[in-house]
Chain A
Amino acid sequence: MRFGRPGLISDYATDIAIFRSNVARFWFAVLLVAVTVLGLGGSIPLGIMTISLDGESLFMLTTALFASIAAIGLNIVTGVAGQVSLGHAFFLGVGAFTAAVIGGAGEVRRVFDLQTGQFVEQVMLFGLEMDMLIWLPLAGLAASLAGLIVAPIAFRLRGLYLAVVTLGLVFIGEHLFREWDIISGGVGVGRPTPVMSLLGFRFDRTSEVLGITLTSSRKLFLLALVLLIVFGLAAKNLLRSKIGRALSAIRDRDIAASMMGIDLSRYKTIAFVISSFYAGITGALIYTTIGRLLPETFNLLLSVEYIAMILIGGVATISGSIMGAAFITFLPLIVRWLAGFPVFSFISTQPGGGFPTVAHIEEILFGLLIVVFLIFEPLGLYGIWIRIKNYWKSWPFSY
């Protein structure tokens, strides 16, 4: 029945379909076309205002799209499989540094004593300068290898013990990144990021593609869009496959799941490996886009940021992960915009200003939003969206 009651699901195929109706398919296509047009440099008139993307908003949206990939990964292990992982920052770091070593340039650094000007030591930074076709998959694979190594500790533990172990992982990883300076370049200095060159096609330069001149930031945006669609659809398909169902069964009740023949250690390992692959890909790309790769980035706060993304966006949903990642990425922009209002004039916009600086408010909002969403809307932005949709579906009736 195509024209029956909307939302009536009468067979299993409809229930697990990616798009439940042609309307959803249509709006997804519209959104995709609109975002692509914006990315190519076009502008869309929308009633009273015209939307176009450039400069900071384009850059932020690019990082948001890249962050979404890792958020989807975290959502697979934490949202779908129910294994709380505070170690996402570690996997991001593994991906980022693998990419930088394989795809970035090497460097010889001479360290001089600042006071005496004497030569202290020579640091060789390792770098192979390979193509993106090699470093991008390898970044993902290296991260998933790290996930595979951690998994045996992880699947023996449950619940809170796992959360603490993954927290420990972040600290050990941070120590490793800080101290292993032939790989990471050392604290506060960092290392060159990989070259964005895919089979000779340079993402970091302006060039003409199919008759349209594209700057590097527009190319990166389109790359992020394509990758997000690929990884998003892959995750969506994973969730409606046998693996996805096994993972949700583990989340709902792991003992019951194992009674039904689900191999707990196998599926928990799969969840960790896939999730860290996603994190590795994001780690490789997002810091290349930002252009700075510092070993101290990958700390507990970064993990908490990703936890906030999936909680605020929507646990165990793909679209929720994307909404959450976008929201968290744009949070600094939102706070700065708020600080412009006279009511919020107590927020100082200078980094060295008085107590509540923009960065402080941002951190407070992270925490506060986690708390508020957990108490009032555990389904996150996705839940709010569903509620709005249902409201209009039955309008003017309340049910």
Chain B
Amino acid sequence: MTQFVQALLNGVSLAAVYALVAVGFVIIFKSTQVLNFAQPALLLLGALWVTHFATAVKLSFWVSLLIAVVLSAVTGVIVERTALRPMVGKPIFSVAIMTIGLNTVLTVFALGGLGIDIRPIGDPWGIKTVSIGPFTMAQHRVAAIVTAIVLVGAVMLFFKYSRMGLAMRAAAFDQEVALTQGVSVASVFALSWALSAVLAMFAGVFIGAGVGIDRTAAVTSLKALPVVIVGGLDSIGGALVGALIIGIVESLTSTYQPSLLPALGTGFAHVVPYLVMFVLLLVRPWGLFGTEEVERV
């Protein structure tokens, strides 16, 4: 029982990381109709900046985090402006493939800066743990959950109540109509890329917190793709539910599969998110909360 609850708790903290990346996917998809395959690269770049300023330049972790937020936002905007803007109106496949190209380029730079070794991220939590009764949890996992709740909550409130959030929802609904109503679609695009780059950066920090960051972080962040597919590409709430499902299933698998079903091989937990996605898509091709597309000829 203890083991089970422990696995659940780990699953929730994994879900927090996935949720941060996944909400980034959803924001970009909703406002620009682009599935951004470059998210893993943005995550690596963000984590790289935090490690760089916190361990190489030896600034305080919080200051580095602040610098990384600014730099990530700027990267997001630059990427949108240089690569994505010329593609407005092109078929969604072309744009998706172009973000794959972008991901390849940015990943090489991020990994080149990161080096081959595992780099500590310089976080204040380290390997310290908190205990509640019989359950122990690493502090950085608690921090991940809290951060995810605060950030995703803030994003949702922003969309719901702020003027700019309203503009973004309008642009997501119909770009041309939004333009005629005086919404600056260009700044909506820029803001959504900046937002999701920052969210990816936070996810990168929490993937690296405690254990350090290396190239495998990119693989971890790609698992946010099944998360958004399970939840539905255009729903922030769906992304959260998807993150919880995938995070908990993955954590339970990594706890129980090595002893119960060793035949499935080591590291099976890493492909479980994709299997969950396959099964769910066979039942609901639009994800749990995605809008079913109704099309006219």
A interface list, Cβ under 8 A from B: 82, 84, 86, 152-153, 156-161, 163-165, 167-169, 171-172, 175, 178-180, 253, 255-256, 259, 300-301, 304, 307-308, 311, 355-356, 360, 363-364, 366-371, 374-375, 378
Task: Give the distance in Å from the alpha carbon of A308 to the alpha carbon of B102 in the complex.
Answer: 12
Q: CB < 8 Å: which of A86, A161, A355 contacts B281?
A: A161
Give Cα A373–Cα B102 distance, bound, in whole angstroms: 12
Q: 4 tightest A-B contacts by CB?
A: A179-B265, A370-B101, A367-B104, A168-B274
Chain B nearest CB, measured from A210 CB (Å): 46
B66-94 Cβ-contact flags toward A at 8 Å (1 or 0): 00000000000000000100110010111
Is there contact, CB below 8 Å, between B274 and A163?
no
B-side interface residues, number (CB < 8 Å): 48
Name B's A-contacting residues (CB within 8 A). 35, 83, 86-87, 90, 92-94, 96-98, 100-109, 112-113, 222, 225-226, 229, 233, 264-268, 270-271, 273-275, 277-278, 281-282, 285-286, 293, 295-297
Contact A360 B83 (CB under 8 A): no
For residue A315, which residue of chain B has the nearest CB?
Answer: B94
B277 engages A311 (CB within 8 Å): no
Q: How far is the CA of A38 from the CA of B273 in the complex (A)?
A: 50
Per the bound structure, the CA–CA distance linking A153 and B87 in Å amounts to 29
CA distance A105 to B10 in the complex (A): 45
Chain B residues, Cβ within 8 Å of A153: 278, 281-282
Contact yes or no, B265 A178, CB < 8 A: yes
Subset of 12 A-B contacts with CB under 8 Å:
A84-B93, A84-B97, A160-B35, A168-B278, A172-B274, A175-B268, A255-B297, A363-B105, A364-B104, A364-B109, A371-B102, A374-B101
Secondary structure dominating the interface of B = helix
Contact A371 B98 (CB under 8 A): yes
Assembled-state Cα–Cα distance A388/B23 (Å):
46
Cα of A373 to Cα of B191 in the assembled complex, Å? 26
Task: Give the chain B neighbours of A84 by CB distance below 8 A.
Answer: 93, 96-97
User: For residue B293, which residues in chain A have a CB less than 8 angstroms away from its CB?
Assistant: 158
Is A161 touching B229 in the complex (CB atoms < 8 A)? yes
A152 to B100, CA, bound (A): 25
Q: Are B97 and A311 interface neighbours, CB within 8 A? A: yes
- List of B residues within 8 angstroms of A168 by Cβ: 225-226, 273-274, 277-278
- A255 near B105 with CB under 8 A, answer no
